[in-house]
Amino acid sequence: MLLPASPAAIRRAAAALRRGEPVAFPTETVYGLGASALDPEAVRKVFAAKGRPDDNPLIVHVTGLPMLRGLVRSLPPAARALAERFWPGPLTLVLPKTRAVPGVVTAGLPTVAVRVPDHPVALALIEAAAVPVAAPSANRSGRPSPTRAAHVAADFPGLLVLDGGAARHGLESTVVSLGDPPRVLRLGAISVEELRAVLPGLVVATKTRARAESPGMRHRHYAPARPLVLFRRSRAAALREALAADPKALLLCADADAPLFPGRRPVRLGATPAEIAHGLFDALRTERRGSVLLVYALPRRGLLRAVMDRLERAATRVV
């Protein structure tokens, strides 16, 4: 059930959370499927509804540092510096958890992932429920993340969804673990360059390391309904051949790259990195008549590095 996110609807959703019922709500990254992080039964309902593997931990959403006390054992200086600069915002910090956080939330890990969302509806909901809210993206496991309330309703008919319009970033949060050195476990809406301005020693975990430390990174993600073939930027000629061989194939590329593929009308991903990030999941969800999605890779810089990470994980094949 889609409800415009009025104060009355937010109160109703908060009451549902307190009763142990999952609800979906907008954040600035993507829509979340939330449950009280202190209620293991409610959290299990989120895993069950999504079909999410139980080794894939959830992010706990709070309204600010005061709500974090009691959930994490310590806030190292590096974490505090990042929180001061980027919260509320699309940055998730992985910190040692206290016993108050049930094991089901963290998939048995001794750490918990936390963030303060930068969205008035998300903040009002957590405030009204007066509990930290564990919330993965509100999609069936493996599907592209939902950037609009209608995407959530398509995956979960009958679920209470607070409709707050299209998500501003359209890409999930960046996940950082505060070990030595601090490490990006998942690329996301805050770029590595922005984070390094605060923490120059920050490294990006290799795929193998990210998979070991952040179990969710092992699973297949973001898969559209059609096969998706990702062509590297050095393979424009191969992509032109593939297009010529299959008139039903759909081309997806950045606006600036469209002239490389004359005679074919592409699904344009956007002109700026923010626009491309914003439209990506919508483009992957849109049902089209094409046989296969052929995607021309993006330059791996800033925000587009995270977009490429999502495309690689959505791809059935990389050429």
- Residues forming the site for ligand AMP (CB under 6 A): 56-59, 94, 106, 109, 111-113, 136-137, 172, 175, 185-186, 213-214, 216-217
Total of chain residues touching Mg ion, rule CB under 5 A: 1
**Near Mg ion in 131-170, by CB under 5 A:** 137
Among residues 137 and 173, whose Cβ is nearest to Mg ion? Answer: 137
Give least dist CB 233 to ligand AMP, A: 27
Looking at 108-204, list the stretches that DSSP marks H as alpha helix, in order from N- to C-terminal side: 120-129, 149-155, 192-198
- How many angstroms separate the CA atoms of 170 and 166, rounded? 8
Among residues 221 and 240, whose Cβ is nearest to ligand AMP? Answer: 221
**Residue 79 CB-density burial (10 A; 0-12 exposed, 13-18 middle, 19+ buried):** buried
Contact call for residues 191 and 303 (beta carbons, < 8 A)? yes
- How many angstroms separate the CA atoms of 214 and 181, rounded? 16
Among residues 189 and 283, whose Cβ is nearest to ligand AMP? Answer: 189
Query: For residue 136, which phi and psi values (nearest 5 degrees)?
Result: -85, 175
State which residue has the least CB distance to ligand AMP: 216
- Residue 257 binds which of ligand AMP, Mg ion, none (CB < 5-8 A, kind-dependent): none
- Residue 310 binds which of ligand AMP, Mg ion, none (CB < 5-8 A, kind-dependent): none
- Residue 57 binds which of ligand AMP, Mg ion, none (CB < 5-8 A, kind-dependent): ligand AMP
Among residues 137 and 147, whose Cβ is nearest to Mg ion? Answer: 137
Among residues 39 and 155, whose Cβ is nearest to Mg ion? Answer: 155
Among residues 92 and 250, whose Cβ is nearest to ligand AMP? Answer: 92
Give least dist CB 16 to Mg ion, A: 21
Specify which residues 60 forms β-bridges with. 114, 134
State which residue has the least CB distance to Mg ion: 137
- Residue 147 binds which of Mg ion, ligand AMP, none (CB < 5-8 A, kind-dependent): none
- Residue 266 binds which of ligand AMP, Mg ion, none (CB < 5-8 A, kind-dependent): none
- Residue 95 binds which of Mg ion, ligand AMP, none (CB < 5-8 A, kind-dependent): none
63 binds Mg ion (CB under 5 A): no
Query: For residue 110, which phi and psi values (nearest 5 degrees)?
Result: -80, 0
- Residue 63 binds which of ligand AMP, Mg ion, none (CB < 5-8 A, kind-dependent): none
Give least dist CB 111 to ligand AMP, A: 4
- Where b means 16+ CB within 10 Å and e means fewer, 203-216 reads ebbeeeebeebbbb
Among residues 38 and 239, whose Cβ is nearest to ligand AMP? Answer: 38
Give least dist CB 95 to ligand AMP, A: 8
Give least dist CB 255 to Mg ion, A: 27
Bond preceding residue 136 cis, omega within 30 of 0: no
**Near Mg ion in 79-138, by CB under 5 A:** 137
What six digits make up the tokens of 293? 């999605």
- Residue 68 binds which of ligand AMP, Mg ion, none (CB < 5-8 A, kind-dependent): none
- How many angstroms separate the CA atoms of 188 and 197, rounded? 16
DSSP 21-58: --EEE--SSS-EEEEETT-HHHHHHHHHHHT--TTSPP
Q: Residue 281: left if φ>0, alpha if ψ -120 to 50, beta else—which one?
A: alpha
Q: Which helix (H) or strand (E) holds 11?
A: helix 7-18
